[in-house]
Chain A
């Protein structure tokens, strides 16, 4: 161990755009600027207070802008400062925040702006994911088709009743009604409507899939000195980790990937969490298809293997439950792919700052933010709290 401990990392500014299907009124620069400006305003800081910028987005094919960080440097006030881009597929919003946090923790920089975005309306992610590679058998199903067999495997393994997926979708869409930034605001949502929506890739229904969104999310991360100047309560990073594994390999557990378990265990070890189910108050997890809520509850150690669906079914993960999950409405309600992971991290921070508004969980003191990407290949997570880490 090093003689000098890490610098504690605080979140003092959070900004999001109102996520929608298409932001035709702004360029990509205008979109990221809006989120960054709101994060600075929240922290009551100016561009000059930022020492470095770390941005992330999903694969370039998703918007067809190669190396967008070059073009976005002036929109993000990065001229004359270090600017880095992070790229880990759908988990990128989480890993981007963790790279930024690492710069603060290592005392390389005092205050870092981190931001992730996607303007899905400018491309077609489905096209970006299914390029016609010569000699290869065409993929026989879309993104949902890729994940649906894993959901069926989970249902078989756990014995979960067919209705659990619809309960998650119904909950997340209702939670989104309390989040002004969420993309989908389905005011007339009912459980019956979710259950009556068409099966796209049986066992995944239309209403149990994520939308395609334009949006950006930004955070200002800073050190203890910066946190002391913060006009609003900071969120403190208590642990953060990333793990990777191959997309496909012999022995891969597609239902509960080892990399996800290892990543969560690392975060809990850093934060001194022995029993996540009891010691963590709420979770913002990356659930692009409803069934991933019970699957990740197990993968993240909140339930034993095969038991995650029972938490969902018994209402534990509802906004007023004992372990609320996706209070913001989650990825099921908002999915600017590159930003989706950072939104999870930022929403976790909003909760412990007591600033989540109508979707605030009373007394949330430790909240987990979770992201994954690729074919369950990349994982990134952080645990934030309302008190600085014990040093």
Chain B
């Protein structure tokens, strides 16, 4: 039995965020070395600020400046920083209640080791040299023995406020298609298409999934299908997809390989795009080293009767 395949899968996207008035002031403040909180209906100051009062649900917009110095309320040591974290040497994740605030802000605390960190210790903001209006404008916190810095009286009005940010997100997976798809892919390397038959409804799934989605039972009986098949339906693609190197227009078709009970997807070529039709008989065209057929081309057989494939639409 071929081995089960595995490969890295990275999912990443630069999401954009519209900040709204409160986050806009907060992040613009960081750019200007000002930390802003917001005052709630009952007089508490929340840092980082929020747009709506967690107690009354009322909209809150009363921005108040707090000090860049504060107290660690709790912490955890990070032995092995990962990519994208604030520091590349071991550090503490700390909740810091800034002087003048009633809530704590999560950030990195630069310290030589866990023995140098304790709840209640005094810290201050270490500003990043280059600031753009982002939480990373605070490079980290650092231990601080001096007097509290009195907060200023900024009200959150800035020239050229930051109104949006890019928030890149990245997820690293190890992807495995599982046993059934691995078998299918192994067979494709010999230019054979092998599906699996459901022991209950007898339908042949291509590609196989290892289980029948309607009967809910495992499948294992392998069935070679094709190589020829019938175009059950299709569309003509006229817009170029970003990740595909195919000239438009081209035909994207559902193809029921002979012996399969479900159509798979492929491109039709070797025929003018506007002559492709439902019922067209096709066969795969392979290129050297490719995992999948490059496209399907007409076999020259007469078209299939509608009745022979209408259940596969």
Contacts and interface: CB of A to CB of B under 8 A. Distances in A.
B50 interface: yes
A149 B237 contact: no
Given A47-B57, A152-B235, A250 B17 contact: no
A79 B235 contact: no
B17 A153 contact: no
B20 A27 contact: yes
Interface in A54-81: 61, 63-64, 73-77, 79
A157 interface: yes
A362 interface: no
A152 B7 CA distance: 36
Chain B residues touching A, range: 35 or more
B18 A25 contact: yes
A135 B13 CA distance: 21
B11 to A, nearest CB: 6
Contacts of B278: 152-153, 156
B244 A254 contact: no
Contacts of B18: 22-27, 119, 121-122
B80 interface: no
Contact of B177 (A77, A136, A157, A201): A136
Chain A residues touching B, range: 35 or more
| A contact face: mostly helix, strand, loop, or mixed | loop
Contacts of A64: 13, 15, 167, 169
A25 B164 CA distance: 9
A203 B244 CA distance: 21
Interface stretch (B66-74, B152-160, B261-269): B261-269
Interface string A11-31: 000000000001111110110
A246 interface: yes
Contact of A201 (B23, B53, B235, B306): B235
Contacts of A138: 243-244
Nearest to B7: A134
B7 A135 contact: yes
B16 interface: yes
Interface in B260-312: 261-262, 265-267, 278, 291-292, 306, 310-311
Given A135-B177, A201-B236, A251-B261, A123 B5 contact: no
B253 interface: yes
A47 B55 CA distance: 11
A128 B171 CA distance: 13
A142 interface: yes
Nearest to B206: A250
A119 B51 CA distance: 18
A145 to B, nearest CB: 5
Nearest to B58: A47
A74 B235 contact: no
Nearest to B311: A251
Contacts of A254: 313
A153 B265 CA distance: 15
Contacts of A121: 16, 18
Contacts of A148: 235
A198 B52 contact: no
Interface in B225-272: 232-239, 241, 243-244, 246, 249-250, 252-254, 261-262, 265-267
A163 B214 CA distance: 36
A131 interface: yes
A273 interface: no
A44 to B, nearest CB: 17
A160 interface: no
Contacts of A142: 239, 241
A29 B20 contact: yes
Given A27-B51, A202-B236, A254-B313, A135 B185 contact: yes
A74 B54 contact: yes
Contacts of A200: 237-239
Contacts of A73: 54
Contact of B234 (A136, A152, A198, A251): A152
A61 to B, nearest CB: 8
Contacts of A77: 52, 57
A189 interface: no
A131 B54 CA distance: 37
B128 interface: no
A388 B220 CA distance: 53
A248 interface: yes
A199 interface: yes
A153 to B, nearest CB: 4
A150 B233 contact: yes
Given A27-B20, A249-B262, A124 B13 contact: yes
A165 B56 CA distance: 49
A50 to B, nearest CB: 9
A363 to B, nearest CB: 39
Given A27-B23, A201-B238, A134 B313 contact: no
Nearest to B16: A122
A137 interface: yes
Contact of B57 (A74, A128, A134): A74
Contacts of A150: 233, 313
B52 A29 contact: yes
Contacts of B116: none
Contact of A135 (B16, B181, B233): B181
Interface string B181-223: 1000100000000000010010111000000111000000000
5 contacts: A64-B13, A75-B51, A130-B243, A152-B234, A152-B278
- Of all A-B residue pairs in the complex, the 3 with the closest CB atoms, nearest first, are A148-B235, A27-B20, A77-B57
Interface of B: 5, 7-9, 11, 13, 15-21, 23, 50-57, 59, 163-164, 167, 169, 175, 177, 181, 185, 198, 201, 203-205, 212-214, 232-239, 241, 243-244, 246, 249-250, 252-254, 261-262, 265-267, 278, 291-292, 306, 310-311, 313
